[in-house]
A = this chain, B = another copy of it.
Amino acid sequence: MPGVIKADIAGATGYAGQELVDLLLRHPNVRINALYSTTDQPRKFSEMFPRFARRTGLLCQKLDAKKITHGESSVVFLALPHTCSMDLVPALLRAGKRVVDLGADYRLKSVPAYEKAYGVPHKDRDNLRQAVYGLPELYRQKIRKAQIVANPGCYPTACVLGLAPLVSLQEFDSVIVDAKSGVSGAGKKAVQDMLFTEVDEDFRAYKVNSHQHMPEIEQELSKLAGRRTQITFVPHLLPVKRGILETIYVGAPVRPSKVLELYRKFYTHEPFIRIREDGSFPSIKDVEGTNFCDIGVKADGSSVIVISAIDNLLKGASGQAVQNMNIMFGFPETMGLM
Contacts and interface: CB of A to CB of B under 8 A. Distances in A.
A298 interface: yes
Given A195-B194, A249-B176, A276-B50, A241 B200 contact: yes
Interface in A162-216: 174, 176, 178, 180, 183-184, 188-192, 194-205, 208-209
A38 interface: no
Interface residues of A, number: 69
A321 to B, nearest CB: 20
B203 A283 contact: yes
A247 B199 CA distance: 18
A127 interface: no
Contacts of A289: 289
A242 B285 CA distance: 14
B307 A241 contact: no
A277 B208 CA distance: 14
A47 to B, nearest CB: 8
A292 B201 contact: no
25 contacts: A50-B280, A50-B282, A53-B286, A53-B294, A178-B178, A178-B247, A188-B195, A191-B195, A195-B195, A195-B196, A196-B196, A196-B239, A201-B243, A202-B285, A203-B283, A204-B285, A205-B245, A205-B247, A205-B283, A208-B298, A209-B305, A232-B305, A236-B247, A238-B239, A239-B240
